[in-house]
Structure formats: C-alpha cells, structure tokens
Amino acid sequence: MFAISFSELQVAFSLILLVAVMEWWRLRHAGPNLVLREFRVGSAESTGEFLYILGRRSGIVAWLLVVFGLHAQTSFSVTDDEVARETVGPSGFESLYAPLSEITASRCSYYRAFWLLQPLLHRERIGSKRLDSRS
C-alpha cells in the first residue's frame, strides 16, 4: 500500500504553494502573457490587417493543457476599422471589439460548463470499454 507520511505531505504542499506564489508574483502586473503561434505585421492594403497575433497562455499548466488538447487560444488584430481580441477554448469564448471610428466597445462571451461534463465523458468511455470486453 502506498503511504505518505505527514512530513512528506507538508513538503509537497510547501513546494506547491511556493510555485503558486512565484507564478502569481511573475504575473501580478501582466495581461495575458502569450506564447506566440503566429505574428503578422503588414500593410492594410494586402490583407486588411495591420497587426495579427495568435498565441496561447504561457506557463507550465497551459503547456500541459496543450499536450491534452484543452488549451485556449487568444488572437489580437488591428484593422482599418477596429481592434479585436478574441479568446477561444474548451471553457468558452470571449471577444472584445473596439471600432476606431467611435469611442465605444463591444464585449461578448459565453462559457461552457466543460468541467462538469468531464465525469460524464469519462463514464461513457468506461462503459464502451466494458461493452468491448464482453464481445
């Protein structure tokens, strides 16, 4: 049987807390730090965009989510008419548009209860494995 002593549990908890505090300190004044996937700067005549940036969040947790295909991507674009930022991921969608001709902005979002569906998906996979093992 696998047993963990109380002192080992304290060390593990202390390390987790230390990493969390270090990440918080690193990101305390930052917006979304991105690992770039795509970066374009061009004239608006060819594509209509002056600037386009596509990336995912930085950090070890975000990297693990990429490994499992559950990452969120953020795009930022500047065109002749507007500035737009969109974030799309398994938990939902958020977009922010600001037209350059007026002093206004539009924010739209929806969120999915993705984490609530995970036990149901896991249960379906286990059920399908059981059916396959009977045949």
The residue extents of the domains of the chain are: 32-129
Q: What is the pLDDT of residue 131?
A: 42
pLDDT digits (tens, 9 = 90+) for 47-64: 778 889 999 888 787 788
Say whether pTM exceeds 0.75.
no
| Integer Rg of the chain from CA | 22
Per-residue confidence band for 101, with pLDDT thresholds at 50, 70 and 90: confident
Do residues 52 and 75 make contact, with C-beta atoms less than 8 angstroms apart? Answer: yes
**Strand partners of residue 73:** 56, 88
**Residue 32 clears pLDDT 70, i.e. is over it:** no
Residue type (1 letter), 64: L
